[in-house]
Chains A and B, each alone.
Chain A
Amino acid sequence: MAQQAILKKPVRWHIAVFLAPAVLVYTAIMIIPLFGTLQLSLFREVEAGTIYVGLQNFRELLTDPHWSQSFWNALWNNTWFFIIHMLVQNPIGILLAAILSNPKLRMRAFYRTAIFVPTILSFVIVGFVWKLILSPIWGVAPNLLDLVGLKFLFAPWLGKEEYALTTLALVSVWQFVGIPMMLIYAALLSIPDEILEAAECDGVTGMAQFWKIKLPLVLPAIGIISILTFVGNFNAFDLIYSAQGALAGPNFSTDILGTFLYRTFFGFQLQLGDTHMGATIASMMFFIILTGVSLYLFVIQRRMQRYQF
């Protein structure tokens, strides 16, 4: 006892030494700038210098037609982008994972590796690759559709206001389907055998077993995927920028919050860059993501745990 008391007394400097580098870099480059950006959104540049304007920037962004039109357009587009991901990416991911999780299936490792390839490529590559494939000039997409007799369906999707955003969302789904597939696959594999055996004894097999037993058990994994997708989508930029440029054409129909932030912050063509409005948009994105994450942590995740136990 006495020895322990002596050992405990000295300041344990090594803990501070172990923590210091990570905490310093993280705080200086991540946390301080995040709050710095929130702070910048409360100021504005005038001729005399920088003045505090409270929430005026936010009011303008949300209500002044000059800003609000672009903002609501970008927000809605972003929401649609997210909806497509949820509706397409997750079901495909679940389907692929369910098939892959069959232990008797051959070449599992090959399929797993191959389907994950697009996920490791950069948005820039993916954006350009699909831009080329869908381009009417090259004609790969119409040729392929012709092979299956569906050529009449072809349209220059990326150039049409009504299709461009959905097309890009599907391209993004194509790229990221590997992540839900892997996470759900892992969740499916970790279901204890006893549960499945018990189900089989009760005559619950095949599809019924999937819907009634496996799917409810992988719901937490689907929850994690949804929140990861949410954060990723509301912070997206690269894909739209590489495929459609900073103007997010045609006619801003693919403009999302990330490209809107970029244009506002740096300016584009005749519009001058605006640090404070840029910070205001970044702050709005921060609040949107924070709301989504809190909703997940405090509402969805808790309810799921209650289902489990």
Chain B
Amino acid sequence: MASKATSSLPRSVAAHAILISYTVLALFPVILIIFNSFKTRKAIFRSPLSLPDAESFSLIGYRTVLEQGDFFGYFQNSLIVTVVTLLLVLLFGAMAAFALSEYRFRGNTLMGLYLALGIMIPIRLGTVAILQIMVGAGLVNTLTALILVYTAQGLPLAIFILSEFMRSVSDDLKNAGRIDGLSEYTIFFRLVLPLVRPAMATVAVFTMIPIWNDLWFPLILAPAEETKTVTLGAQVFIGQFVTNWNAVLSALSLAILPILVLYVIFSRQLIRGITSGAVK
């Protein structure tokens, strides 16, 4: 026993050393950008690695960003698109998952496979035709176009995850509801939905991140100033202000912060979702 304890000390030091260096590698770029966004231009270049102090502190970058770019508008657009899509994906996804996991009907398996196709085949490959449809429907440069596309994109994975969870909801409960004369809709909304809430949270996080971060569809379907999302807004803004380092660093920080805050709040949910319960 004693020999085991002594040999495990250097090993645990090595383990921590590797993990700490990788953590630094993962966080350093993000921290560097955020710190430097609070500095004067001179300080950014003279000592990029030092913290902002009383002398080098400056908000000029943020002032430029807020004056020149409509970041509040972009946030609002991103928020509307993400929240509405999330609601639609969760509602439609849960309904379809319930149908697939609860009832036996002809074509059940086939329908499940059909809906799972979208997990592996990216919706981007249909862009050419999606743009044509949106042009035809007059939805170009509207948030509706983005919401529709992202809903279609999010549904396959949502249905897949939720139907796994719904299979585990006890049949006795549902049958008790049926004997009490509840309709199938009431059983779904009143009994089943509250029970799969943890799975819904996982699906929500998984659906949200790619939508908030996507550049492709905003660039193609809604590039107008009024419909720009944060990701596209930051991309365009930085492209225009390439040489104004204060503004670029501040724009990047503004794009990083909201998602970082959300992540800190929901990280347990997200990680538990990925590792599907294996983590305690």
Q: Chain B 240-279 against A: per-residue CB contact (8 Å), 1 yes, 0 no? A: 0000010011001001100110011001001100111011
Q: Report A23 CB to chain B, min CB distance, Å.
A: 7
- A36 to B132, Cβ gap below 8 A? yes
Q: Which of A75-83, A111-119, A248-256 contacts B (4 or more CB under 8 A)?
A: A111-119
What separation, in Å, do the CA atoms of A104 and B5 have in the docked complex?
12
A-B contact number at CB 8 A: 247
- B125 to A286, Cβ gap below 8 A? yes
Chain B residues within 8 Å of A102, by CB: 15
- B122 to A19, Cβ gap below 8 A? no
Q: Chain B 23-38 against A: per-residue CB contact (8 Å), 1 yes, 0 no? A: 1011101101100000
What separation, in Å, do the CA atoms of A66 and B149 have in the docked complex?
33
- B129 to A140, Cβ gap below 8 A? no
Taking CB atoms and an 8 Å cut-off, the chain B residues in 150-167 that contact chain A are: 151-153, 155-156, 159
Interface check A304, CB cutoff 8 A: no
What separation, in Å, do the CA atoms of A190 and B267 have in the docked complex?
21
Given known A22-B92, A125-B256, A133-B32, contact A237–B216 (CB-CB < 8 A): yes
Interface check B198, CB cutoff 8 A: no
- B92 to A33, Cβ gap below 8 A? no
Number of interface residues of B (CB under 8 A): 88
- A19 to B96, Cβ gap below 8 A? yes
What separation, in Å, do the CA atoms of A33 and B44 have in the docked complex?
47
- B155 to A125, Cβ gap below 8 A? no
Given known A37-B127, A231-B122, contact A174–B25 (CB-CB < 8 A): yes
Consensus secondary structure, chain B interface: helix
What separation, in Å, do the CA atoms of A155 and B149 have in the docked complex?
41
Interface check B19, CB cutoff 8 A: yes
- B96 to A190, Cβ gap below 8 A? no
Q: Chain B 104-123 against A: per-residue CB contact (8 Å), 1 yes, 0 no? A: 01000001000101101111
What 4 A-B pairs have minimum CB-CB distances, sorted nearest first? A36-B129, A122-B213, A33-B126, A186-B275
Q: Which residues of A contact B (CB under 8 A)?
A: 12, 14-15, 17-19, 21-23, 25-26, 28-37, 39-40, 92, 95-96, 99-100, 102, 104-105, 110-118, 120-125, 128-130, 132-133, 138-140, 143-144, 174, 177-179, 182-183, 185-187, 189-190, 227, 231, 235, 237-238, 241-242, 258, 261, 265-266, 275, 278-279, 282-283, 285-286, 289-290, 293
Sample of 19 A–B contacts (CB below 8 Å):
A14-B184, A15-B99, A18-B98, A19-B96, A21-B91, A25-B92, A26-B156, A30-B118, A113-B264, A117-B26, A138-B48, A138-B245, A140-B48, A177-B26, A183-B275, A189-B278, A285-B125, A289-B120, A290-B121
